[in-house]
Chain A
């Protein structure tokens, strides 16, 4: 069965510091992977997606993620965090027929001034 694990529930970083959020997936075939961000009380916004090709994908708001098949990981990174990046981040995988999307439990990011 497909599953997504985000091992970090909360992360706090200082503004201007780099960020890496971890995501591990379990999927029998080639995965299609996503990162979403959610501000409090809002829906989820797509940051980036990976379907195939280059394993380093660029997204909005200066985020990037790297797909590593050998580690079953799809970690999200940002070189310099801004206070406005404080939110909850979700990693997701979709089934081969694109009918079901499975999400990790999320990582809450706090940004210290």
Chain B
């Protein structure tokens, strides 16, 4: 069966520090990968998605970037965090082809920028 791992679960970082959140998927190959952010009291905002290694689509211009160095690895980064980057970050995957594939989510990372 497929599993998705996301870490760390909680992170407190000062303004201006770098960020690296990692997500890996097991049990499937060539998945679509996603990063979402959930701010307090708001819904899910799609940040990035990837349909293959090195292929990243950005949905919202911002202080963050994403990379996919391996088929089942997705990394969210920032060079300098802003207060507004605080939130709950969720990684997710879906099957790339054939339709009828929902999103499967990791357990999320709670990021607090102080």
Query: Is B101 within 8 A of A98, CB to CB?
Result: yes
Classify the interface of chain B: helix, strand, loop or mixed.
strand
In the complex, whether B1 has a CB less than 8 A from a CB of chain A is no
Most A Cβ at <10 Å: residue of B42, B44, B88, B95: B44
In the complex, whether A49 has a CB less than 8 A from a CB of chain B is yes
In the complex, whether A99 has a CB less than 8 A from a CB of chain B is yes
Number of A-B contacts (CB under 8 A): 63
Residues of B whose CB lies within 8 Å of any CB of A are 6, 32, 34, 36, 42-44, 46, 49, 51, 57, 59, 88, 90, 92, 94-96, 99-108, 110
A99-B32, A101-B34 are known contacts. Are A42 and B108 too (CB-CB below 8 A)? yes
Q: Which residues of B contact A43 (CB under 8 A)?
A: 6, 90, 92, 105-108
Q: 7 other contacts beyond A34-B102, A46-B102, with CB at 8 A cut-off?
A: A6-B43, A43-B107, A49-B100, A98-B101, A99-B49, A101-B92, A103-B43
Report the minimal beta-carbon distance from A6 to chain B, rounded to whole angstroms: 8
Q: Digit string of A62-73 for contact with B (CB within 8 Å is 1, else 0)?
A: 000000000000
Q: Which residues of B contact A113 (CB under 8 A)?
A: none
Contact among A6, A32, A41 with B100 in the assembled complex (CB-CB below 8 Å)? A32
In the complex, whether A83 has a CB less than 8 A from a CB of chain B is no
Q: Which residues of B contact A32 (CB under 8 A)?
A: 99-100
Taken together as a complex, chains A and B put the C-alpha atoms of A90 and B44 apart, in Å, by 9
Report the minimal beta-carbon distance from B52 to chain A, rounded to whole angstroms: 11
Report the minimal beta-carbon distance from B104 to chain A, rounded to whole angstroms: 7
Taken together as a complex, chains A and B put the C-alpha atoms of A32 and B110 apart, in Å, by 29
